[in-house]
């Protein structure tokens, strides 16, 4: 049986993850397809104990600071979780956003702990 060649069926490597999410402080980046949440994309940087439960914008565990880039809102975020540590318009919940461009983010205290990186006083002050 002969099959015809379908160029649209090829998944080119550079198209699987068209966006990069650079995590400031960890000096690393991960790929993002722009469909999954930023939290799903950065989970590989976290310890195996990283929770999977909430992902609905209510617990605040995945709080990050958006330093640069454009995002798409995937759903509502808990205002009380965004206000922890004082008002910061750059604070978002990674489970409720997807990348729409390359991003630069800083992990919140909870995610820093899960990354295995020691959390110092200067990290907590940024929160």
> Domains in the chain, start-ordered, CATH in brackets?
17-126 (3.10.20.30)
* CA-to-CA dists, residue 14 to 17, 19, 33, 48, angstroms: 6, 9, 10, 27
Q: Which has the higher per-residue pLDDT, 51 or 1? A: 51
Confidence check: pLDDT of 28 > 60? yes
Q: For residue 98, what pLDDT is reported? A: 92
Number of Cβ within a 10 Å radius of residue 113? 17
Asked if residue 84 has pLDDT above 50, the reply is yes
- Mean pLDDT, to the nearest integer, of 76-105? 84
Query: Would you say residue 37 has pLDDT above 50?
Result: yes
The model's pTM is 0.72
What pLDDT, on a 0 to 100 scale, did the predictor assign at position 16?
56
């Amino acid at each position: 049986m002969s099959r015809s060649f379908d160029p649209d069926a090829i998944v080119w490597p550079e198209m699987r993850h068209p966006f990069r999410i650079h995590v400031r402080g960890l000096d690393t980046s991960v790929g993002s397809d722009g469909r999954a949440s930023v939290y799903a994309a950065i989970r590989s940087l976290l310890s195996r104990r990283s929770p999977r439960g909430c992902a609905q914008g209510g617990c605040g565990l995945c709080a990050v600071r958006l330093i640069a880039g454009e995002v798409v809102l995937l759903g509502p975020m808990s205002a009380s979780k965004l206000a922890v540590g004082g008002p910061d318009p750059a604070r978002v919940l990674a489970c409720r956003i997807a990348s729409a461009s390359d991003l630069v983010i800083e992990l919140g205290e909870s995610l820093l702990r899960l990354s295995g990186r020691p959390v110092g006083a200067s990290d907590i002050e940024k929160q």
